[in-house]
Amino acid sequence: MSLWSYIFRRLLYVIPVILGVCGIIFLLFNVVAPDPALTMLDKHATEAQIISLRRELGLDRPLLIQYIDIVKSAFTFDFGRSWSTKQEIFTMIKDGAIPSMTLTVPAFVISAIFSVSISLLVAFFRGGVIDKLVVFVCVAFMSISALAYILFGQWFFAYKLGLFEISGYAYGFPDFIPYVILPVIIAVVLSVGPDVRFYRTVILDEIYQDYVRTARAKGLGEKVIMFKHVLKNAMIPILTYIIIQIPFLILGALLLESFFSIPGLGSMTLNAVNSSDFPVIRAMTVLTAMAYIIFTVVTDVLYTLVDPRVRLS
Amino acid sequence: MPVADTSVDNARFSQMTARKPSKSLWGHAFAQIVKDRMALISLSIVVIYSLIAVASSLGFLAGGWQNEVGASYLPPSAEHIFGTDIFGRSVWDKTIKGTEVAMSVGLVTAVISAIIGVLFGATAGYFGGKIDELIVWFYTTFSSIPYIMLLVAITFILGKGLFAVYLALGLTSWVSLCRLIRGEVMRHKDREYVQAAKAIGGGNFRMLVKHIFPNVLHIVIIHFSLQFQIAIKSEVILSYLGLGVQGRPSWGIMIDDAKLELARGVWWQLGAATLAMFIVVLAFNILGDALRDALDPKLKGK
């Protein structure tokens, strides 16, 4: 199969996946979920009230039309209005994206650099005390609930010691920094455990390959082997792992944002969950799923360009 | 001379092989785990937690968790090792009682996700063709939707409570296992031993259950131990979202309660639940790693 026909087929496969994602969302929210008109009105609502609310929310339309609407929204980003705030959802998302990104992007970049460096170091000392210790600390870090980190961090470092802002947010470039330092630190701590473990496994997988032995046999130094040979090959799975996290940056950090009152998409989603605001939840689900699908395709295509072996199988 | 040497070598070789009978994968794995002290300790912790959960559900332990044992928010002391909560209930008893929810959530979730994952994965891998395409499409689609959104949507539909937590966590966690099983079954189905079984007239069901399944069982076991602890951690998030269990103590609810307590300096509820959870999740993590090292033949000798 030629390169281009592979890429073309891969792009074509996106269509059934998008239709499927919209189908699942449609099934969950429009078909099996309890009638939102009933939950929004109280028990004593009259039949007429229910009917008029259902019409207002567009729930009286044929199911097929409702499904097509969801599919359309995946491309036009026209998600309608929120049920609770009556705002245009697209505007809400636009407003929430910046605060979310001021938190998730630094956290993402810092933890990627930090984790890759630690795992390189650990792989260098593989089998030794440092290696075992770091792996154990990673596992221990992963064994604590995310909520416990946030609660403890906010209470101890911000409230007791007063080192950081307890919560809140300010718009604009330098102003937001004091508000996101602690959330970013917590986010890095949360992701460092699983990340280091994954990167370490990937790097160790390469270290035991024959080409590394060959490189060693011809007298190359350990540093050259590590950076020029091992890291280059380990970079493919590492980059995939990193790229695939990008779509989730838009979803924001649900827990962190709501605890630190950062008015981002995460807080918005949680508020929507608490008030059963289906259109907002649906919009965020569609948006994240679309981003995920696009990024998987991009990684797959990049894969085929970088590594010819993928095309053959 | 060389002839004699070979015979000596042969003799020694057969002696060596006689002294060390070759073990099966499971025999090796068992020996390796018993040798690994950390794994053994972890296994005992899991067993102890399970016993506590069973004992508390039968009422032998922490039966009086609802009773008021002292004033509100008593700090930890010799009498109340983890202090008391807002209603003056013993936090120690609540932590013990919470083991029940945690262990049952872990167990049921892991069982549900293992069943779905194995069924879909084995069907896709074994039959291939259109069925495979359909299942691959389904799990690609399913995994494109963020996990937390699926959780929320499913609990919306099922309502609140323990049953909803089981199903929500179980239904959202089978994709990774399904992928692995599909790949492994695909690798195995064209092997000689399967062909031989087919040649003597074995049906599809027999082939899958009796011949292929034992060869992929280790993947299921590793997934099981991982999923168990992921579910315990996820229960906390669900409790925070207000979608968790109701009317009985759980570690998630205790941790979630701490958001109002910490400002008053009440840290013991958070501490007790986090500690209880930390120990068992860590044990599952170490056990999962040990199982993977012991059962994954690709890792052998590293």
pLDDT at site A312: 54
Rounded Cα distance, A310 and A3, in Å: 10
Residue B101: is its pLDDT beyond 80? yes
pLDDT band at A106 (very low <50, low <70, confident <90, very high): very high
Residue B12: is its pLDDT beyond 60? no
Nearest chain B residue (CA) to A286:
B145
Is B229's Cβ below 8 Å from some Cβ in A? yes
pLDDT at site B16: 53
Is there a contact between B156 and A34 (Cβ–Cβ < 8 Å)?
yes
Is there a contact between A259 and A150 (Cβ–Cβ < 8 Å)?
yes
B113: closest CA of chain A, how far (Å): 18
The string of pLDDT tens digits covering residues B240-270 is 888 888 888 899 999 998 888 888 888 899 9
pLDDT band at A124 (very low <50, low <70, confident <90, very high): confident
ipTM higher than threshold 0.90: no
Q: Which of B144, B154, B156 is opposite residue A289, by nearest beta carbon?
A: B144
Mention every residue, 6+ apart, whose C-beta is less than 8 A from residue A311.
A1, A3, A6, A304
The string of pLDDT tens digits covering residues B172-207 is 999 999 999 999 999 888 888 888 888 888 888 888
Best probe of the B interface among A147, A205, A251, A270, by most B CBs < 10 A, is A147
More confident residue, B108 or B21: B108
Is there a contact between B287 and B295 (Cβ–Cβ < 8 Å)?
no
Q: Is B89 left (phi over 0), alpha (psi -120 to 50) or beta?
A: beta
Q: Which of B140, B241, B252 is opposite residue A273, by nearest beta carbon?
A: B241
pLDDT at site A187: 93
Contact flag A32-B277 (C-beta cutoff 8 Å)? no
Residue B84: is its pLDDT beyond 90? no
Mention every residue, 6+ apart, whose C-beta is less than 8 A from residue A234.
A199, A202, A203, A205, A206
Q: Which of A21, A140, A145 is opposite residue B145, by nearest beta carbon?
A: A21
Residue B301: is its pLDDT beyond 60? no
Residue B18: is its pLDDT beyond 60? no
The string of pLDDT tens digits covering residues A7-37 is 888 889 899 999 999 999 999 888 887 777 7
Nearest chain B residue (CA) to A158:
B263
**pLDDT averaged over every residue in chain A:** 86
Rounded Cα distance, A73 and A68, in Å: 9
The string of pLDDT tens digits covering residues B111-150 is 999 999 999 999 999 998 999 999 999 999 999 888 888 8
Lowest mean pLDDT, pick from A55-64, B14-23, B39-48: B14-23
Query: What whole-number percentage of chain A has pLDDT above 70?
Result: 97
The string of pLDDT tens digits covering residues A213-234 is 999 999 988 888 888 888 888 8
Residue B282: is its pLDDT beyond 90? yes
Kindly state the DSSP code that residue B291 receives in the 8-state scheme.
Answer: H
Q: Which two tokens stand for residue A62?
A: 């044929």
pLDDT band at A299 (very low <50, low <70, confident <90, very high): confident
Q: Is A168 left (phi over 0), alpha (psi -120 to 50) or beta?
A: left
pLDDT band at B26 (very low <50, low <70, confident <90, very high): confident
**pLDDT averaged over every residue in chain B:** 85
pLDDT mean over A243-270: 85
